[in-house]
Every structure is written in C-alpha cells, then in structure tokens.
C-alpha cells in the first residue's frame, strides 16, 4: 500500500487551507471599512460600508467603485492619470497610501482617506480579492 499520494494530497490541502486562513487574517484589517459584494448582491466577504466595495478591484480604474462617492480629492486626481488597480499599485497603496498618491499625482501634499497601512501581505490580499471576483 502506497500512502505517499495521499500524504501529498493532504499536504497540498493543508497548504491551501493555510493560505486561505492567512488571507482571511489579512482581511480582518480591511473589513472595518470594506466589503466584497458581487453585483448580484451576494456578500463574498463581510465588512463595513465606509470604504468602497472591493469586488472586481483587479484592473479597475482608481476611485471607480460603483455606488461609492467618498473618495479623497487626491485619489480622484490619481484616477485622472488613468491609473488602475494593478497588483503593484494595490501593494504600493496599502504600504503607504499617501506616498502612493504623491508619486502618482506629483502632488507632494497628496493625502489618502485611508489611514491604515499594510506593509506586508498586500500581494496575497490582492490575489485573494481577485479570486473572489472571478
């Protein structure tokens, strides 16, 4: 009897569950303000309403979540440059929102309405949000 394939399958499942749990842990910092809700109203990740819905964020233009109108003027200015939420932009924004806006707009005084910084795990969070939107 060969148990190696079963063991390997178990390791893969454990790694997958570990990754999902890590993504959920990262989400805890975001859900105070954000939710992930599909266009049909299905709530994919519970959260607050004071920030924009993060459903479909991958590739979406900055400051463009449907139904959200409370973007900072500086985030709107960054959006006017044509910037989109790529993985790199998302990670840079999470690591230092004000600096991201300053770099994107060229305005040394630009400030974000987001007051949380996530210096690690942004790539994983972006991919997790992307997976919820597929």
Q: In which domain, by residue range, is 112 found?
A: 23-132
Q: Are 74 and 105 in contact (CB under 8 A)?
A: yes
Calpha distance 117→109 (Å, rounded): 18
Residue 31 maps to a domain: yes
Q: How many domains does the chain have?
A: 1
Main-chain phi, psi angles of 65, to 5 degrees = -65, 130
Would you place residue 23 in the very low, low, confident or very high pLDDT band (cuts 50, 70, 90)? low
pLDDT tens, 75-115? 999 999 999 999 999 999 999 999 999 999 999 999 998 88
CATH classification of the domain holding 122: 1.10.760.10
- State the average pLDDT over residues 17-39: 78
Predicted confidence at residue 88, as pLDDT, reads 98
Given a cut of 70, is residue 7 above it in pLDDT? no
Residue 2 maps to a domain: no
- State the average pLDDT over residues 35-44: 96
Residue 14 maps to a domain: no
């Amino acid at each position: 009897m060969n148990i190696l394939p079963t063991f390997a399958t178990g390791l893969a499942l454990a790694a997958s569950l570990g990754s999902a749990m890590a993504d959920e842990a990262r989400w805890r910092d975001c859900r105070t303000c954000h939710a992930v809700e599909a266009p049909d109203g299905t709530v994919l990740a519970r959260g607050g309403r004071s920030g924009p819905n993060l459903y479909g964020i991958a590739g979406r233009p900055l400051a463009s979540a449907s139904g959200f109108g409370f973007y900072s003027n500086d985030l709107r200015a960054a959006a006017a440059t044509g910037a989109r939420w790529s993985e790199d932009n998302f990670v840079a924004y999470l690591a230092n929102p004000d600096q991201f806006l300053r770099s994107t707009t060229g305005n040394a005084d630009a400030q974000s309405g987001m007051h949380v910084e996530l210096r690690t795990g942004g790539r994983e969070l972006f991919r997790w949000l992307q997976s919820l939107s597929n």
